[in-house]
Structure 1
């Protein structure tokens, strides 16, 4: 590598000023001949010091002399190894001044800060969306190209981002890292936990613009909106009947399949519909909720023989 460096080096004018790639704040003013000699040029890239060129040459040679003792990873530069070691020690020296989050890398903190500032410096060239980090932009660009380069090792599903495939893997491993502090239930996804927490807080953030009803889940709001629009997107394959809700279609198809998925806990009878099971349960409890307006008789069913 020394021969390559010697061939690549040549003195250049000391009147030119630029920043050192290893220290962007240091300007190139040379007072000593020895420093001027190390102000060199390498294929258009300029370095203030011979050490800077040597470090740069590792990007061409692939040399990685700094190895992690905890795993099999190696690095070209010592600062990169030191930063990597934090993944083993758990050290997070970079703290956000706006919230209590800390990070292992300065770059991660800078990206996080954009959540508070709202800065989104990475625009999509295909549409008007902007993003606060390049990885999000790259993942988004695949929605235009339909590229899904990350595949699951357990099934044939493919995904646009590493994060998505890692999240999906929990459906195979059964890993549920997100736990409710109120009841102890665990969930595969953080979004599921957030939704579940509303059962404790009573929060219903999704409100209908047509009426005063609010819902815990956006899916419930979308389903409710069909009562206003009249939309019936779920159709029966056996007949031309359509339904607003998937549950309605599933219930309807049991007319054809004869499936009885609802079992009585008191006896061995099964039913296709929850209404039939509820009605049947009154034979065990003795409930007679339907009363005659003309006399004092009560009945288990709304229509009695």
Structure 2
């Protein structure tokens, strides 16, 4: 496949566009030089042909006189209807002579050919980006201007692209027209449906050149490359933190504002990140799709399974720089470092106690409230922490999972085993 170094001898004098073929160059020159004398009375648009103005006016009136006989779709232009009908027939008469790709419209084939030539004749005047299509450049310019002309009628959301607004509206209607045939998943957006199908096929066409990582989406590869470059272009205005992804910065900012817009419908819990809400809901449903191959454990999240696997492998990749301690999770290392710094950012509002971890403050608060949400189903005992309930259950089952490797003694609790080991020394 050729890259952007392809020779482009045909240069436009009026703008910076350049082309590898004389035909494309001539077509472009016409768009630049033809006088546009026919003005639209409703906006600033002007046209060289009366027919073009007539078609344009329909975008203001919303009139769609050309109806599809096979579905409910309607169009303002006859040629748009003709293009649409091909989606029903499946006909793709325009074949690429460099690969197996085929298209229903010639313009799509022309656009596809630029993926082979690397041609991007439409450069941005404000940055180094360039595009194969004028429409892509137009959309890109909105990232510089911040323009969002497409407003949702149901909320305050606004978008730079019409299709983004269309996808957003489905969040209000709940419509999910794209159904997976292999599972129960359904999607409001076709692109998300396509990405979902790769979960079933295992297809990961986007390969990292610097390591073995591969991805189903190009955007994920782009995000991954920042791990290698160390680039963190998104800076928090409230602290020194910086992030490789805009969405990670957005999530981080909520730690400053305390905002938790994602509310659980089944309890009072709320979350700053949608993914955290999805993970939490599984605690209500009991859904644990991620199964350990080495034991009977199952988990609601893939990340939890990954962390669990380290209990089998003994892997502890997060090493403390100040002592010999090592941890299987980064968050545990972060908590550990506060032992060295003495930092205790989580303060109790009811007493002078302070803690290095938020969960420790949560547990502490239960000593004030007397809350004991973890109830034994075999007796009346109740506990403030799940760990205490788990330890208590052993008194009912008689289970002694902690085995001494020097004698036959076994114990129900780990600290009792540790105390026993002293008798051997």
TM-score, structure 1 as length reference: 0.50
TM-score by length of 2: 0.38
